[in-house]
Amino acid sequence: MKKCTYQNFEDLPLMLNATELEHALGISRSSVYELMKKDGFPALWIEGRVVVPRDKFIEWVEQNTGK
């Protein structure tokens, strides 16, 4: 499992890329890309690059953890 390099949500950049999500979630790069393709995950595809807005990522985490 990947070690999280972030201590809280405020440490995350405004737009997260695959590497940052990999570290934040502690999952593999391939799992991040699978997650980004799922319906309901707030991935934003821009000219072949995928980013996730921090605020939408936090909302997604809260919705999917029962908070």
pTM of the predicted model, to two decimals?
0.82
- Give the residue among 37, 67, 42 at the shortest CA–CA distance from 53: 42
Place of tokens 């029962």: 66
Which of the four pLDDT bands, split at 50, 70 and 90, describes residue 4?
A: low
Residues 6+ away with beta carbon under 8 Å from 42: 52, 53, 56, 57, 59, 60
Element (H, E) at 29: helix 29-36
Instruction: Kindly report, residue by residue over 13-64, the tens digit of the pLDDT.
Output: 999 999 999 988 989 999 999 999 999 999 999 998 999 999 999 999 999 9
- Contact by Cβ (8 Å): 2, 27: yes
